[in-house]
Structure 1
Amino acid sequence: MASTPAASHHPQEQGPSSRRRPRDCRRLQEEGEQFRTSSLPAIPNPFPELCGPGSPPLLTRGSLPPSQAAAKQDVKIFSEDGTSKVVEILADMTARDLCQLLVYRSHCVDDNSWTLVEHHPHLGLERYLEDHELVVQVESTLASDSKFLFRKNYAKYEFFKNPTNFFPEQMVTWCQQPNGGHNQLLQNFLNCSSCPEIQGFLHVKDLGKKSWRKLYVCLRRSGLYCSTKGVSKEPRHLQLLAGLEDSSIFSLIAGRKQYCAPTDYGFCIKPNKVRSETKELRLLCAEDEQGRTCWMTACRLLKYGMLLYQNYRIPPQRKPLLPSFSTPVRSVSENSLVAMDFSGQTGRVIENPAEAQSAALEEGHAWRKRSTRMNILSSQSPLQPSTLSTVIHRTQHWFHGHISREESHRIIKQQGLVDGLFLLRDSQSNPKAFVLTLCHHQKIKNFQILPCEDDGQIYFSLDDGNTKFSDLIQLVDFYQLNKGVLPCKLRHHCIRVAL
């Protein structure tokens, strides 16, 4: 049969990839079509103005897998300190459900930032599971040396709060003119009738080879494409690199060492069928952290669409805990505890959460002062008044002890490069000092906290003694409320829990 020339609207494939041309062409022709739907219960659309005139303002959870029988299965979960726990879960338990169960067992605060991490040490890859993913289903695809980690990720939904920080204008183009400004970017990602594109240069590793090439790449709903002719985005010059439908997006853990990556900002589109082979991995590298974050976030939005927004906005549907994790019986008085204010003539219930937290901080300061005085009075030997102040911070989750600068940066990156993410650690250069490691604008900065003496009392300061604190807890409390000399307030602290 004589072959006919490819139409101008089809991407041009070369070599062996020419057999995939009909399939790739169909993918490009299907740009803008609606996502798959299912018969699961409809959910109110938070963007009803995006619906067509003939479409009801309802959403269906089309990306959710079908429900399975309520069978039970054991899953092993690892924490950051290397400890692990075998948890019995139901077959229909999602990643969010399991995180809530682990939060309960670890006595942590459930702030919707806990995640499960799919970790592949052999491949040097890891990714955060989306809240709606079924844990048993993901585990069935893992290799023998792969595992789940329980970790914080404050950046999980940060792009919904600050989209302009995640999508630089020079990397975003539109198939049609947007009616609004940059704030409408997310709506266009979530709306299947429009198709914003992410484009730019990426280092791309050739499949099955060690070589990398710098190519002009664009991301569309049907997949990731590279241009075979400079920066041209004409369909006939586009060649498919990887599809998103049956793949997942991972970060490279040690790309330079394992894959000879040209930068430290690598990511990977991994077919779900791949377990331990590297020849089918589509490895890519950006020039900086912001570029990598932009590409990976856009892939998540195009792959999951409105389902991500539902995970972010809709309160989690708490499943009944398994019998082995059921809540212990508590007394009526314990279940009825509320914050009270007794500063006036009569007591009142504090209903404002911010006011309750402020009252708790004040009570904590008063407790530390009383404890210091009692410790001094009850001691039979001479004791410096600052003894408690120099060690009390070691009980706090944000204090990570004697770790290196490199380790502190790694922890910050793992738990999400969002403004205000911080931890405190011992200084490596000064045994009497401490270091505040803080993230701002996706960059990590370090501030030294030095001890200073005033009237025989030891204080701590990070601005050369202009602002002094009797202990590090007071210092952290202050900079959570005031920016001071820091580039931003302290918002989130890095935490490690033992399972």
Structure 2
Amino acid sequence: MEVAGLWADVFEGSEMMEKPGAADKLLGSSTRTLARPVSESPSICRSQPISITPNRGKGVESLSSSVPSIPNPFPELCSPSKSPVVVSSLPPPSSDKHMIKVYGEDSHSRPVWISPGATAKEVCHMLVQTAHCSDQENWALLEVYPTLGLERCLEDHEVVLEVQATWSPKCDTRLMFCKNYAKYEFFRKPMLFFPEFMISDSADVSKGMTSAELIQNLLRSGRSPEIQGFLQVKEHNRRAWKKIYFLLRPSGLYCSSKGSSKEPRHLCYVADLEDFNVYSVVNSRKLYGAPTGFTFCIKPAKNPIRAQELKVLCAENEQTRTCWTSAFRLFKYGKQLHCNYQSSKSTPRSLEGSSLTDNKSKSEASLVAMDFSGKDGGRVIQNLTEAQSAEREEGRAWRRREALRCSLPNLNCGVRPSSIHKTQPWFHGGVSRKEAQRLIEKQGLVDGMFLIRDSQQHAQCFVLSLCYKLQIKHYLVIPYVEEVSKYLTMDDGMTLFIDLLQLVEFHQVNKGILPVCLKHPCICVAL
């Protein structure tokens, strides 16, 4: 049969298969061929793999190159370096990253990929971005031993993986991400943390400096004055506590074998500061039978924890415990701790924590009482009694304005419901008094740290827990009915508030009956 036209070339190509080298030529061509049927008994022919070279012929273009490229309208979303979404839970492409698990205060954890040399400050900055925290300062990583009740705030310069290397696999040690306002508070108020009666007599006071000036100069140079005082000690496998006189010097921690004698022959060496870390003890009365709740512990820094190596010490009050732990940190890290403090002050702050709050805290010491009732302009009120009277009068005027505003139509419960406080970060629901104190202590015993909770003893009442001078005080907020309207008050009706949010907003500016204004809300962030 004769084939004409386009199919003639195809059948001519099939005859070329019989000639030597014809197949090689056909492999390079793009024309399909039809094989001639074989009249003999057919043999089974299996397909064989053909290697395809990555470089095609010169005249052939790839399919992808023939499609026109479309520009990406959102390049910032595709670039990992510029992406606003932090994917810390995904493994990085490089193999030099290590995964750590960080817990939030809600007992939930988040995996974070960090470099081998990542410091605690860098990890905190990463978690702030991951958790979308508005306030970017005063965060810290806590090294927590839940079974032993030990907690320690990692210093900003400490390498996280090196700290984890000292953990024992048998212990349930973890890292916790939370607020800590008191990390460098002793640089700001040294006399509150280093009272004169605890400073050793060996301190150099011959230059005519006062105790406050001496402490301030030592802190600026990254040093601490020598500390002395009585502490109660619990030895291993013993239930009784013994009161012993201790001294903390740059060379180490010493105890006196004879009362409060500081003679060298009566001093016994206890621990080297370079080899130990200091921890605060939670629930020490139940775990260790401590006589007071102001307990701290020192343990070896580089070895896995052992019960017989723990040195549990108990102080008489919070000021004494804070003085010992702060001096221990200063002696151990020296100038590095002061550098960390300076670096924390120069860190860029967010809108919530910097523009208003920081400016208010800086200018708080320069606020004075003014009287603008005269015709010649304002005058500074010098008399303290007159200034307090002016403050009370301003509070009454503010109360009258608020009462008038709340009495207007369409401005009652519709705008600000009675349960609006439940959405605020400073409200902690029905936590107990003991739990509220623990939350404030963990985030730092600084003046103005506060939270509000439901009262467990009085129905429909609330409790304001406030820290002032290293002590936590509790103020009862009770309902107050005036005519038909319901209010809240802390001073038997002298100052009324329509809800807790208004109460907090007022005391953030005015002290009222409180010893200090509300400054730092005790918040819990979930990772």
Give the TM-score, by structure 2 length: 0.67
Q: 1:199 to 1:318 in 2, by over 3 A?
A: closer
Specify the SS of the correspondent of 1:245: helix
Q: 1:413 aligned to 2:438?
A: no
Map Cα deviations across residues 298-341 of structure 1 (whole Å, 9 max, x no partner). 1011111111111111258989xxxxxxxxxxxxxxxxx999xx
Aligned mates of 1:409, 1:216 — CA distance in 2? 29
After TM superposition, give the deviation of residue 441 of structure 1 in Å: 1.6
| Alignment partner, residue 122 of structure 1 | 147
**AA matched with 1:385:** C
**AA matched with 1:450:** I
Q: 1:391 aligned to 2:419?
A: yes
Aligned mates of 1:141, 1:304 — CA distance in 2? 19
| Alignment partner, residue 249 of structure 1 | 278
| Alignment partner, residue 32 of structure 2 | none
Flag the structure with larger Rg: 2
Specify the SS of the correspondent of 1:394: helix
**AA matched with 1:183:** E
Aligned mates of 1:393, 1:148 — CA distance in 2? 30
| 1:366-405 equivalent positions in 2, closer than 5 A | 385=413, 388-405=416-433
Aligned mates of 2:347, 2:183 — CA distance in 1? 19
Q: Is the 8 A contact 2:139 2:178 kept in 1?
A: yes
After TM superposition, give the deviation of residue 88 of structure 1 in Å: 1.0
Q: 1:292 aligned to 2:321?
A: yes
| Alignment partner, residue 479 of structure 1 | 507
| Alignment partner, residue 166 of structure 1 | 193
**AA matched with 1:299:** F
Q: 1:310 aligned to 2:345?
A: no
**AA matched with 2:445:** L
After TM superposition, give the deviation of residue 229 of structure 1 in Å: 2.0
Aligned mates of 2:355, 2:439 — CA distance in 1? 33
| 1:210-359 equivalent positions in 2, closer than 5 A | 210-315=239-344, 353=356
**AA matched with 2:327:** A
Q: 1:461 aligned to 2:485?
A: no
Specify the SS of the correspondent of 2:508: helix
After TM superposition, give the deviation of residue 115 of structure 1 in Å: 0.8
Match of 1:100 among 107, 115, 125: 125
Q: 1:409 to 1:99 in 2, by over 3 A?
A: same
Aligned mates of 1:196, 1:248 — CA distance in 2? 19
**AA matched with 1:432:** Q
| Alignment partner, residue 489 of structure 1 | 517
Q: Is the 8 A contact 1:424 1:435 kept in 2?
A: yes
- After TM superposition, the structure 1 stretch with the greater mean CA deviation from structure 2, 402-411 or 183-192, is 183-192
Map Cα deviations across residues 401-449 of structure 1 (whole Å, 9 max, x no partner). 1111121111111111111110011122233221111111222111111
After TM superposition, give the deviation of residue 276 of structure 1 in Å: 3.6
Specify the SS of the correspondent of 1:122: coil
Q: Is the 8 A contact 1:434 1:449 kept in 2?
A: yes
Aligned mates of 1:482, 1:209 — CA distance in 2? 51
Map Cα deviations across residues 109-157 of structure 1 (whole Å, 9 max, x no partner). 3353111110012322111111111111111112331001111111111
Identity of aligned residues (%): 45
Where do 5+ consecutive residues of structure 1 fail to align?
A: 1-68, 320-336, 340-350, 358-364, 377-383
| Alignment partner, residue 168 of structure 2 | 143
After TM superposition, give the deviation of residue 176 of structure 1 in Å: 2.4
| Alignment partner, residue 15 of structure 2 | none
After TM superposition, give the deviation of residue 470 of structure 1 in Å: 2.1
| Alignment partner, residue 53 of structure 1 | none
| Alignment partner, residue 213 of structure 2 | 183
**AA matched with 2:215:** L
Higher relative contact order (CA 8 A, sep 6+): 1
After TM superposition, give the deviation of residue 198 of structure 1 in Å: 0.4
After TM superposition, give the deviation of residue 292 of structure 1 in Å: 0.6
Tell me how large the CA RMSD over aligned residues is. Answer: 3.2
Specify the SS of the correspondent of 2:328: helix
Specify the SS of the correspondent of 2:465: strand
Q: 1:276 to 1:196 in 2, by over 3 A?
A: closer
After TM superposition, give the deviation of residue 494 of structure 1 in Å: 0.3
Aligned mates of 2:145, 2:292 — CA distance in 1? 20
Aligned mates of 2:96, 2:345 — CA distance in 1? 21
Specify the SS of the correspondent of 1:496: coil
Aligned mates of 2:239, 2:357 — CA distance in 1? 54
Q: 1:269 to 1:473 in 2, by over 3 A?
A: same
| 1:68-83 equivalent positions in 2, closer than 5 A | 71-83=96-108
Aligned mates of 1:487, 1:316 — CA distance in 2? 26
After TM superposition, give the deviation of residue 95 of structure 1 in Å: 0.8
Specify the SS of the correspondent of 1:390: coil
After TM superposition, give the deviation of residue 354 of structure 1 in Å: 6.1
After TM superposition, give the deviation of residue 92 of structure 1 in Å: 1.6
Q: 1:86 to 1:317 in 2, by over 3 A?
A: farther
Q: Is the 8 A contact 1:118 1:149 kept in 2?
A: yes
Q: Is the 8 A contact 1:223 1:244 kept in 2?
A: yes
After TM superposition, give the deviation of residue 289 of structure 1 in Å: 1.0
Specify the SS of the correspondent of 2:429: coil
After TM superposition, give the deviation of residue 218 of structure 1 in Å: 0.4
Q: Is the 8 A contact 2:480 2:488 kept in 1?
A: yes
Q: Is the 8 A contact 1:433 1:450 kept in 2?
A: yes
Match of 1:131 among 156, 162, 166: 156
Give the TM-score, by structure 1 length: 0.71
| Alignment partner, residue 229 of structure 2 | 200
**AA matched with 2:421:** H
Aligned mates of 1:195, 1:486 — CA distance in 2? 33
Aligned mates of 2:467, 2:443 — CA distance in 1? 11
Aligned mates of 1:338, 1:135 — CA distance in 2? 29
Match of 2:456 among 424, 428, 431: 428
Aligned mates of 2:473, 2:347 — CA distance in 1? 38
Where do 5+ consecutive residues of structure 2 fail to align?
A: 1-93, 361-400
Q: Is the 8 A contact 1:126 1:253 kept in 2?
A: yes
Q: 1:443 to 1:356 in 2, by over 3 A?
A: closer
After TM superposition, give the deviation of residue 466 of structure 1 in Å: 1.4
Q: 1:70 to 1:188 in 2, by over 3 A?
A: farther
